[in-house]
A and B are shown apart, each in its own frame.
Chain A
Amino acid sequence: MYGASVDDFDLDQEENPEQLANFEARIARGEKIEPGDWMPSEYRRQLIRMISQHAHSEVVGMLPEGAWITKAPTLRRKLILIAKVQDEAGHGQYLYHAAETLGATREEMLDALLEGKAKYSSIFNYPTLTWADIGTIGWLVDGAAIMNQTMLARCSYGPYSRAMVRICMEENFHKKQGQEMVILLSQGTPDQKAMIQDAITRWWWPTLMMFGPHDSDSPNTPILQKWGIKTRSNDELRQDFINQLVPDLQALGITLPDPDLHYDDESENWITGPIDWDEFWRVIKGDGPVNKERMAARRKAHDDGLWVREALQAYAEKQAAEAMPA
C-alpha cells in the first residue's frame, strides 16, 4: 500500500475541538469531505453503517424482481426487468466502493450479509406474488428510494454523494417503467385491475415503512443532519412521498388500504392512519414473510459462484507465471 494512497486510513486520528470545528465549518460551507480528509470517527462510523446497509439493500433487492424475469409476459418487459435488476447489482457495487473509501473491506461487508448479521431494507422481505407486484415495486419502492437517494446525492461525503447522483439517474428509469405498468394494468381488463389493486394493497404500508421510524424514534437523525449526511428527516420524506402518490393512485381508481387516509387542508398534506411499527421491527429483526428465503438465495448465489472465482484466480495466476522471465 502506497503512502497516503486512497486506500490509506488513519483510523486512530486524535480528535480535538479545533479539528472538529474546522470539519463542521467545511460542512457548513457546503464542501465535500473526501477520503484522506480529517473526519470525526463517529462520522466515519455512521457512514459505513448507512452505506453498507444501503449496498446490501441493492443486492438483496435483486431477488424479489429477479424471480419474475423468466415469467415476464412479453420480450420487452423481460428486457426491461433484466436491465433493472442488472442496474441494482451495479448500485450495490457503487455503494460497496463508497464504503471501502472509509476503510470498510468488501469481505467484512459481504460476510456480515451472508452470516445474516447485516441489516438491509425491510421491504425486500416481502414476497412478489403476481406480475403486478413488479410494476408496484418500480413505482412505489424505487420511487420511495429515489426520495431518499435524491437527498443523499447532496450529502457531505464525496464518494457517497457521487454514487447517489449516478444511482438516481438510473432509478428514474426504474420508477417510470413501474409506473407505466401500474397505469396500464389499472386501465386494463377486470382481472388486470383486480391484480394491480391487490398488489398496491399489499405493498402500500411496507413502502411507507421504508423511510424508517418516526423522527421521534430516530436517535441518529440529529447528528446525521448536523454533519450534512441527511438533510431531511424520515417523516418529511415520507410525507412528500405520500403527497405525490395518493392523488395519482386515486385517479387510477386504486383504493389505498387505509380507512383513515384524508387530506388536511391546513397543512396541505395527505394524512395516513398509524403505521404498524411492530410489523416493521419484526421484519427488520428477521421475522418477515421471506427473510429466510432471501438469505438462503443470497448464500446459494455466492456459493454457486465459487467455481467462477476459482477459475478467474487460476487464470490470473497462470498469466502471471507466464509473464515471468524464464
Chain B
Amino acid sequence: MTDTQWPRFMVFQQSELDEPFVHNGTVHAPDPEMALMNARDVYYRRPKAEAMWVVPAESIFSVTLEEQTSKEWQQEAEGAGIEKEFHVFAKFSHQGQCEQIGIVSANSHEAAMRLAIETYTDKQVLWWWVFPSDAVMASEAEDTSSMYDPSLEFDYKSQAAYPVVTMMRQIHAKGKLEE
C-alpha cells in the first residue's frame, strides 16, 4: 500500500509580497508539510517566489463559467455548518490561471461560491475556485530565504547565460568565433 500515490495538493505561488497567490499545479504527498517540500522542488527551481501555499485538491470547489448557470450545485448552497473563511480565486483571461481575489465568510463551499459570484461582479470571471482558509498550508516567512533565494544565484539556469545567437552570427559572417 505504501507503493501507491498519495493525495493531491494544489500549489499556489506568490511572486512578490504585494501580489496575489497564483495557481501553479499539483503535487502528491503524504501530508501538507511534505507537499510543501515537493512543491518547492517541482515548481520553484527558478526565481522568484516569496511564498507558497499547498491546499488539498479535495478541499477546493470549482465552477467554470459553463457550470455557473447550472442549477445543480446552487441547490446545495443552503449549508447548515459553522461559518468560516473561504479564499476566492478566479481566472480572468483564457490564457491566464486562477489567482487570489479575496475572502468570503460562509458555512459551506457552495454558499461561499454563490457569495463570491455575487460579491466580485466587476470583472468577467471564467473559472471560480473557493476553499476554506484553514485548508491552506503556507510556507513560513522565516523560511523564504532558505527555500527560494538559492535559485537566484543559478545564472546558468537561464537561457540568457548562453550567447549562441551572437556566436552563430560571428560564424556565419567570419567562419569562426571572435576571440
Name A's interface SS. Answer: helix
Q: A2-B58, A31-B94, A173-B157 are in contact. Are A183 and B177 (CB under 8 A)?
A: yes
Stretch at the interface among B62-70, B99-107, B115-123, B141-149: B62-70
**In residues 282-320 of chain A, which contact B (Cβ within 8 Å)?**
306, 309-310, 312-313, 315-317, 319-320
Q: 12 A-B Cβ contacts within 8 A? A: A36-B64, A87-B45, A106-B5, A106-B28, A173-B157, A176-B159, A176-B162, A176-B164, A251-B172, A313-B6, A313-B30, A315-B30
Please count how many residues in chain A sit with their CB below 8 Å of the partner chain's CB atoms: 59
Contact between A7 and B97 (Cβ–Cβ < 8 Å)?
no
Nearest CB to that of A163 among chain B residues? B25
CB contacts (< 8 Å) of B156 on chain A: these are 76, 79-80, 83, 177
A241, CB-defined interface residue at 8 Å: no
Q: Which residues of B contact A100 (CB under 8 A)?
A: 8, 26
Q: Which of the 9-residue segments A62-70, A89-97, A216-224 touches chain B?
A: A89-97
Does A6 lie within 8 Å of B57, measured CB to CB? yes
From residue B81, how far is it (CB to closest CB) to chain A in Å?
13
Additional A-B contacts beyond A162-B97, A180-B163, A187-B176 (14; CB < 8 A): A7-B57, A83-B156, A107-B5, A163-B25, A170-B46, A176-B161, A177-B161, A180-B162, A247-B172, A248-B168, A251-B172, A313-B2, A313-B30, A315-B31
Instruction: Point out the residue from A2, A162, A175, A180 that lies within 8 Å of B167, measured CB to CB.
Output: A180
Q: Is the CB of A93 within 8 A of B109?
A: no
Most B Cβ at <10 Å: residue of A31, A107, A158, A306: A158
Report the count of interface residues on B (CB-CB < 8 A): 59
- Contact residue among A3, A80, A163, A309 (Cβ-Cβ distance under 8 Å from B110): A3
User: Do B58 and A5 have beta carbons less than 8 Å apart?
Assistant: yes
In angstroms, how far is the closest chain A Cβ from the Cβ of B110? 7
Contact B162 A86 (CB under 8 A): no
Q: A residues near B, CB below 8 A?
A: 1-7, 30-32, 34-38, 76, 79-80, 83, 86-87, 89-90, 93-94, 97, 100, 105-107, 110, 158, 161-163, 170, 172-173, 175-177, 179-180, 183, 187, 247-248, 251-252, 306, 309-310, 312-313, 315-317, 319-320
How far is the CB of A5 from the nearest CB of chain B, in Å? 6
Which residues does chain A contribute within 8 Å of B61, judged by CB atoms? 2-5
Please determine whether B72 and A4 come into contact, CB atoms closer than 8 angstroms. yes
Nearest residue (CB) in A for B165 is A176
Query: Out of A7, A94, A172, A176, which one reaches B8, CB within 8 Å?
Result: A7
Which residue of chain A is the closest to B43 with respect to CB atoms?
A90
**Cα of A32 to Cα of B96 in the assembled complex, Å:** 10
Contact B110 A5 (CB under 8 A): no
Q: What CA separation (Å) do A100 and B10 show in the bound complex?
A: 12
Interface residues of B in 71-106 (CB under 8 A from A): 72-73, 76, 91, 94-95, 97
Chain A residue numbers with a CB within 8 Å of B45 are 83, 86-87, 90
Residues of A with C-beta under 8 A to B171: 183, 187, 251-252
Which of A90, A170, A183 lies in contact with B164, CB distance below 8 A?
A183
User: Are A93 and B176 interface neighbours, CB within 8 A?
Assistant: no
Assembly CA distance A87 to B76 (angstroms): 43
Tell me the smallest distance from the CB of B84 to a CB of chain A, in Å.
15
Chain B residues with Cβ under 8 A from A7's Cβ? 8, 57-58
**Alpha-carbon distance between A94 and B11 when the two chains are bound, in angstroms:** 11
**CB < 8 Å neighbour of A319 from B31, B109, B110, B167:** B31
Which of A38, A83, A110 counts the most chain B CB atoms within 10 A? Answer: A83
Q: For A317, give the chain B residue with the smallest CB separation.
A: B30
Do residues B62 and A30 form an inter-chain contact, with CB atoms below 8 A? no
Given contacts A4-B67, A183-B164, contact A173 B159 (CB under 8 A): yes
Q: Mark B1-32, 1 if CB is under 8 A from A, else 0.
A: 01111101010000000000000011111110
Partner of B58, one of A1, A93, A176, A317: A1
Residues of chain B within 8 A (CB-CB) of A320 are: 31
